[in-house]
């Protein structure tokens, strides 16, 4: 029994769900998202509720049941509210700047890093050391935030690098003076 797959998902106000044989399309105020549906999963939308059912009790079908239900929930939330990830840059001289559809990062390397912002993602910089990634696709927002973070992950001695806003970096003690 899949508890996640058996959830009934409420459709938010102003969101339209269209179900095709192997596809689900969700339209809302912020945009439109599509998701391919495997043939063993059936999606139904009626009376403001989306439900998913599986054709059989094979292990793979059970796994897909919960996954598809969670993906549809993310789509419903994304087109109505959207998703947001906040990153902080720590380090002397470390900063970010926007240049059209490119994010320019100075992270202590001998060169600047230019990151092309994918379509469907909005990046804002309230301060040169703070990056806010927003969009309607949960997966794309998380992927972009992680790609930016991977350019310079925070190191444990001084904490320099790009980190998530509420991430706690476990600090290490440096070398101690000899004898």
pLDDT tens digits along 12-69: 999 999 999 899 999 999 999 999 999 999 999 999 999 999 999 999 999 999 999 9
Q: Which residues neighbour 104 within 8 Å (Cβ) at sequence distance 6 or greater?
A: 96, 97, 98, 112, 113, 114, 115
Same domain, residue pair 87 and 37: no
Q: Which of 81, 96, 127 is the last residue of a domain?
A: 81
Q: What values do phi and psi take at 16, rounded to 5?
A: -115, 130
Q: What is the pLDDT of residues 80-104, one digit of tens each?
A: 999 999 999 999 999 999 999 999 9
Q: Which of 39, 56, 81 is the last residue of a domain?
A: 81
Q: Which residues pair with 104 in a beta bridge?
A: 97, 114
Total domains in the fold of the chain = 2
pTM: 0.88
Indicate which CATH number applies to the domain containing 19. Answer: 3.90.930.12
Structural domain boundaries, residue 135: 83-164
Q: How far separated are the first and last CA of the chain, in Å rounded?
A: 63
Instruction: Could you list the beta-strand ranges (E) of 28-144.
Output: 32-36, 41-46, 49-54, 83-90, 95-99, 102-106, 113-116, 121-127, 130-135
Q: What is the pLDDT of residues 104-120, one digit of tens each?
A: 999 999 999 999 999 99
Closest CA to 74 of 144, 138, 3, 5: 138
């Amino acid at each position: 029994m899949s508890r996640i797959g058996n959830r009934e998902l409420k459709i938010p106000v102003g969101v339209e769900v269209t179900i095709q044989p192997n596809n689900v399309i969700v339209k809302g105020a912020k945009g439109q998202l599509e998701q391919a549906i495997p043939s063993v999963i059936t999606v139904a939308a009626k009376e403001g509720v989306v439900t998913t059912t599986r054709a059989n009790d094979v292990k793979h079908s059970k796994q897909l049941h919960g996954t598809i239900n969670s993906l549809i929930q993310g789509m419903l939330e994304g087109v109505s509210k959207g998703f947001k990830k906040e990153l902080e840059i720590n380090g002397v001289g470390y900063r970010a700047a926007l240049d059209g559809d490119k994010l320019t990062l100075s992270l202590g390397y001998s060169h600047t890093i230019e990151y092309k912002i994918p379509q469907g993602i909005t990046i804002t910089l309230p301060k040169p050391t703070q990056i806010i990634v927003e969009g309607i696709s949960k997966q794309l927002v998380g992927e972009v935030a992680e790609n930016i973070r991977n350019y310079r992950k925070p190191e444990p001695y001084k904490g320099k690098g790009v980190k998530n806003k509420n991430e706690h970096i476990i600090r290490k003690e440096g070398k101690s003076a000899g004898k």
